[in-house]
Amino acid sequence: MKLIWLCHPIKKAVGGVKVIYRQAELVNQLLQPLGHTAVVMHPNTWRFRVKWFETHVPVERRWFHWRWVGKPSLSGIDGCFDPQQELVVVPELWARKYGDQLARLGITYAIYVQNGYYISKGDPSVLNAAYAGARCILTVSEDATRCVSMAFPEAQHKLLRIHCFVDADRFKPGQSKENLITYMPRKLADHSSKVLFFLRNHLPAHWHIQAIDGLNEAGVAKLLKRSKIFMSFSHFEGLGLPPIEAVLSGNQVVGYTGQGGNEYWDERAFVRIESGDVVGFAKAVLQKIQDLEANPSLQQQYDVTERLRQRFSQQQELADLQVFLKKMGLIPQ
């Protein structure tokens, strides 16, 4: 049997793509001794490759049929999968495109919900059919689970939380920290620009701010090792990995939880800002600077980082994926 993880062909650094690749790679390692395989598939693409992180999972190409029904982006998959030999994992944004078709064709599939606020996109009747037909519904966080349970109450028994792995060996404090504040400008750019505006006349001269932009995973880790404060502009995030990576790298985090971050937002290392309160955001950053200068040991919150290491460990991710493979009938119960 082959387990196919459908994935959007996104060139920029998007955490959800990295999660799919990583988990597909781990599943492939688990399945190979049993004579099965797992691959990532970017439908209707030819040369797309991810370049901002390392991966060793097999990648397949397959062309689906164009259907001029509703939107031309809706692809027909009749004859594209073998229901006797292939199983499919569909990202939540493509449940409206492929879920009901997979159900109609008798192909075993799962839906992977990395953001519970994307599941409303599409015709409600089509979405109902997609979620009703899925063998399993994977969620990336407690918040995503809550969203799916609310939207599709009859599918609650199919839900399975998959914990993501965050590499604490890569994301760890550097030997020498700088008076540096980092943030990701692609996240709520309007909010971040306003916070920078309100900080401009108050930021101490020996502190500076640097955007994390255009870097691969190693570059992000290197920059977080140097910084002391990370500004989080998460908005309706399924989980939000950058704040976790920042704290593991010895940062204090100030900002929005994005809802998905509520499950790990510990006040000893995270300062919660109400979404949209950009003045309060700027004031909280300035207060955190004062706190760090008065007590540099605030950078190291060992209890918090150890809890994050355990919660988002490779062992936990592997255990969750093994449960998933049992539900899909690929490994013995």
Q: What are phi and psi of 180, to 5 degrees?
A: -125, 135
170-209 pLDDT, tens digit each: 999 888 899 999 999 988 999 999 999 999 999 999 999 9
Q: Nearest to residue 113, comparing CAs of 80, 135, 94, 140?
A: 140
Predicted local distance difference test score (pLDDT) of residue 265: 95
Q: What is this structure's pTM?
A: 0.92
Query: Above 70 in pLDDT, residue 70?
Result: no
pLDDT at 286 > cutoff 50: yes
Q: Is the dihedral angle over the CA atoms 61, 67, 72, 75 positive or is it negative?
A: negative
Q: What is the Cα–Cα distance from 19 to 45, expressed in whole angstroms?
A: 20
Q: What DSSP letter does each residue of 5-64 carry, written as one string? A: EE-----S--HHHHHHHHHHHHHHHHHGGGT-EEEEE-TT-SS----SS---S-EE--PP
List the single range of 40-54, 70-84, 241-255, 267-281 with lowest mean pLDDT: 70-84
Distances (CA, A) of 210 to 128, 318, 326: 44, 35, 45
- For 220, half-sphere exposure in the C-beta direction (CA atoms, 13 angstrom radius) is 24
Instruction: State how far the Cα of 166 lies from the Cα of 264, in Å rounded to an integer.
Output: 13
Asked if pLDDT for residue 109 goes beyond 90, the answer is: yes
Q: What percent of the chain has pLDDT over 90?
A: 80
- Residue written as tokens 């955001």? 281
Read off the tokens for 104: 């109609």
Q: Are strands 208-211 and 159-161 parallel, antiparallel or unpaired?
A: unpaired
Least confident of 7-11, 42-46, 66-70, 157-161: 66-70
pLDDT at 71 over 70: no
Take residue 25 and report the two structure tokens written for it.
């790679």
When pLDDT is averaged across residues 227-250 and rounded to a whole number, the result is 94
Q: Are 249 and 221 in contact (CB under 8 A)?
A: yes
C-alpha count within 13 angstroms, C-beta hemisphere, residue 227: 28
Crossing angle for the helix pair 302-311 and 241-248, nearest 10 degrees?
130
The pLDDT, as a whole number, for residue 55 is: 86
Segment 307-312 long-range contacts (CB within 8 Å, at least 24 positions apart): 307/264, 307/266, 308/166, 308/168, 308/244, 308/247, 308/248, 308/264, 309/166, 309/168, 309/248, 311/163, 311/264, 312/163, 312/164, 312/165, 312/166, 312/244
Q: What is the reported pLDDT for 72?
A: 43
> What is the percentage of the chain residues whose pLDDT exceeds 70?
97
Query: Highest mean pLDDT: which of 45-54, 135-144, 215-224?
Result: 135-144
Return the DSSP state at 106. Answer: T
Name the strand (E) or helix (H) holding 198.
helix 189-199
At 53 the pLDDT is 84
Question: What number is the average pLDDT over the span 14-19?
Answer: 88
- Residue among 99, 51, 18 at smallest CA distance from 214: 51
Q: What average pLDDT does the segment 157-165 reach?
A: 96
Token reading at 200 = 């401009």
What average pLDDT does the segment 97-108 reach?
95
